[in-house]
Amino acid sequence: MSLPLLDGWTSSSVIKAPTTSFLARRETAAQQLLDLLQDLLDYDSDFAFISRRRLFTALRRLSRASGLHPRCFPLSDLELGTHVAGGSFGDVYKGSLRGQGVAIKIMRVFNKRDIDIAVQNFGQEAVIWRQLSHPNLLPFFGLYYFNERLCLVSPWMENGDIQTFFKNHPCSTERRISFILDVALGLEHLCGKDVVHGDLKAANILVTSSLRACITDFGLSSTATAFSSLQMTNSSIRSRGGTVRYQAPELLRGGHNNSESDVYAFAYVAYELLTGKPPFAELRLDSAVITKVLSGSRPSATADCANDPRLKGLWVLIQDSWQEQPELRPTAAQLVLRLLGPDIQATTTQGTDWDETFTSRFRRSVQPRHPLPTVAEIERMIFWRRFVLVTLI
């Protein structure tokens, strides 16, 4: 059995709706359906009548078309604590939510147009973030409104980003390779959900309390592209919603982010985690980096890579991942297989921070879950909305 509305989204028919009352009904219908789709995705069991992947696709498509997000996203009872970081994108505070330490990223906006653009783009990215549950991806708790400014709320990571962690905690080669595997595992999950990170870099890799690496800020590069004054972290020049020193040649030539460019960025992250140095650390200007990359230059291997067979295998993987031609780079799944394979033999530990059910369990602790309607009730609820929503797709 399929849901008629979801089938209708592939229809080419368009209903003209010039009246204000119709548009109001359309927005109400879109909001109600977004809420229903999110409730279905939050449910623990799979459904015989529709796959989670299709629900996720429908939710993303409707959020993008309507500019809305599920009403369960906004949080309450959040306590704002100390300011810990700031950038042109916004400010980061440490806070508390029902006894849980949280990071609160508050956008810096200056006028109503900025707010409208930011809310629409952030809402769409929040829809993506909320559906992702994986030990190597930072969970998303919800949205918060502080003095009319939009905030993203996620768990607080005491160890900070991986660059800060390396400065405070000398790491063995084994630990560094383990972190690289963690990043590959997180990237593999993103690719499996058809999510492009768009700004993968060491500053967007956090370290959990159980010493596992987790990726954050996935998808936010598109927000930065749509509204160029918004940037989440202090970083070097950003281009097309990414950071130049981690960008693939095709992006520097005006292309768009995709899974292949994420793998290219992974190569530079792996290089930085292995060597402790950012890409092209010897070059001060990003313009010089662009010239180097477009001429085919890449960072050089360290002496250790020639002496250690595992590091030699890792270096080959890094070189394969930053190849000029996108189609020659390995996929994220292939990255994981090669890291676990005999040449590199990467290992990681089972973290105690969170698992695939952590975020949904946390949501239920702060937001009551309503009983799901039956399939027949779902059919009745959305049947009439098909006609007022078709203009959104």
Active-site residues, by number, are 199
Given the DSSP bridges, would you call strands 78-86 and 90-97 parallel, antiparallel or unpaired? antiparallel
| SS3 category, 175 | helix
E-strand ranges in 46-138 read 78-86, 90-97, 100-107
Nearest to 269 by CA among 357, 339, 327: 339
Q: Which residues of 255-280 are buried (b: 16+ CB within 10 A; e: fewer)?
A: eebbbbbbbbbbbbbbbbbbbbebbb
d(CA 47, CA 69): 23
For residues 227 and 90, give the distance between their C-alpha atoms in angstroms, rounded to a whole number. 13
Output the CA–CA distances (angstroms, integers) from residue 292 to 265, 282, 289, 295, 298, in the order listed.
Answer: 16, 12, 5, 5, 8
Query: DSSP 3-state assignment of 305?
Result: helix
> Residue 246 CB: number of other CB atoms within 10 A?
29
Among residues 172, 238, 243, 241, the alpha carbon closest in space to that of 205 is found at 243
First-to-last alpha carbon distance for the chain, in angstroms, is 22
- Which residues contact residue 181 at a Cβ distance below 8 angstroms, ignoring those fewer than 6 apart? 336, 339, 340, 346, 347, 348
Q: Which amino acid is at 56?
A: F
User: Structure tokens of 348?
Assistant: 């990681």
Strand partners, 86: 91
Asked if 59 contacts 9 with a C-beta cutoff of 8 angstroms, the reply is no
3 state SS of 315: helix
